[in-house]
Structure 1
């Protein structure tokens, strides 16, 4: 069931995932339930509370990337193992020396960058991954964590750019990062479209790239790859 429900077509139809994972702990199940429930509510740096959907396997895998070791340990708490199936159908097993008792508080002390990732970037990455996987069902593709890292780096490069005024624009960028090239935004033609002298600040990303067809995107991707190979040869 866990493997069947991650088919990209089902996820794009918003059927969701019912199997979150398999957990082990030497502690009573009531304590495990308490930890899981309380950890899902986290405090932002401005002291507002938010829900952290870390129990969702689609979120858990990519969230792990932005948590430091001590926050990972704090999130695991009294759990000794957390097992899940990632979006590529690969098993993920997290092992941990379970804490001797429940924490007095379940707050992770998240930074602003981690909070922004949870509230915005995690959803953008997952929606872009769904589109990407749907088109690459039968072809080689980036593993989940590699894909998440590429998208995260691109979102960071363009975080303050006015063309990406909402999450839909960022999601479309993320899709091109995965489908075309991890640094497609740095291609001279795309860089020109993002230049503040080419368009006014109120022109969104999708309007700027509206005239670029699929073949042109593929050409830009090949040129990005050729440039990377040339740099690698020069530095060898």
Structure 2
């Protein structure tokens, strides 16, 4: 993944990116004689009144539903798997439209308004869709302290970050019979996750998350809020990629947690300071003093802790000068 991104979500940028992604996906699928399986987050279908024609076409196709948490959710919340034959003109229309929608729905204002991500990605699957759907459905439900937790790995806003948290064994365990999974991240970039086809039947679908892994997964929602603000502020500038933002803010968020800053907006501000000033801004001796002082206060707040730091002092931190008092 590129470390810097200049995609600005404009119409021209979207059109160009759509064509590039179309050509790359076609090369990946057609040249390998692979069927393309489109994955849809069906829970959003009723909300997409502006895409009813596309949804109507999909509903006429043979749909395999992924039974995520069937003991808790009804079928309307099950993701769809739809096999496309990219040598068919009709299926190519669906394929191309899905790319357009995937790029359209990441526009920052739509994300902020809760528009959601309908297009989960394009998959290459070894074997039948039914077997893959059962595997994906069972894997989506993980146990945490004797409670069932729905792991929304199929949400493209989750999967890119989740993938960076999982180790090699967990990644292969998650994918099962999926050999390739492509999706578009929030920066309009095509991402790829590859797996080795499992040749054995799984007796359990646990990904064996440690408490530390669960803490990282808990932070995905916060990181997405940070990404939303960061992209909005740098929409016309070269910026860090989604993966690089995650790599930058994750250590800072863990330190924020140790300072007992658990308010959502405090954590978002903490991450943005790591991006805007320094990944280790909170390691400056004076910042440490301010944070430790605030940490001992009732109703602790990161915003209150740094309220006395001036723009000039922040500039000093950005320049990497930690030898001078603030």
Q: TM-score range by the shorter chain?
A: 0.7 to 0.9
Q: Determine the structure 2 residue equivalent to 1:110.
A: 209
CA apart distance, 1:97 = 2.1
Number of residues paired by the alignment?
223
Counterpart Cα distance in 2 of 1:86 and 1:189:
37
Q: Determine the structure 1 residue equivalent to 2:11.
A: none
Partner residue of 2:177 out of 47, 54, 78? 78
Q: Deviations over 1:112-135 (max 9, x none)?
A: 1111222x2010001110011011
Residue 145 of structure 1 pairs with residue 243 of structure 2? yes
Equivalences for residues 81-96 of structure 1 within 5 A: 81-96=180-195
Equivalences for residues 42-191 of structure 1 within 5 A: 42-44=142-144, 46-118=145-217, 120-162=218-260, 164-191=261-288
Q: Deviations over 1:25-64 (max 9, x none)?
A: 12211111112211111012x2222111111111111111
1:206–1:67 CA distance, 2 compared to 1 (3 A): same
Counterpart Cα distance in 2 of 1:100 and 1:192:
55
More strand by share: 2
Residue 224 of structure 1 pairs with residue 322 of structure 2? no
Q: Determine the structure 2 residue equivalent to 1:196.
A: 293
Gaps of 5+ in 2: 1-100
Counterpart Cα distance in 2 of 1:197 and 1:155:
16
Q: 8 Å contact 2:136–2:175 — kept in the other structure?
A: no
1:210–1:227 CA distance, 2 compared to 1 (3 A): closer
Residue 18 of structure 1 pairs with residue 115 of structure 2? no
Q: 8 Å contact 1:2–1:85 — kept in the other structure?
A: yes
Q: Determine the structure 1 residue equivalent to 2:88.
A: none
TM-score normalized with structure 1 length: 0.85
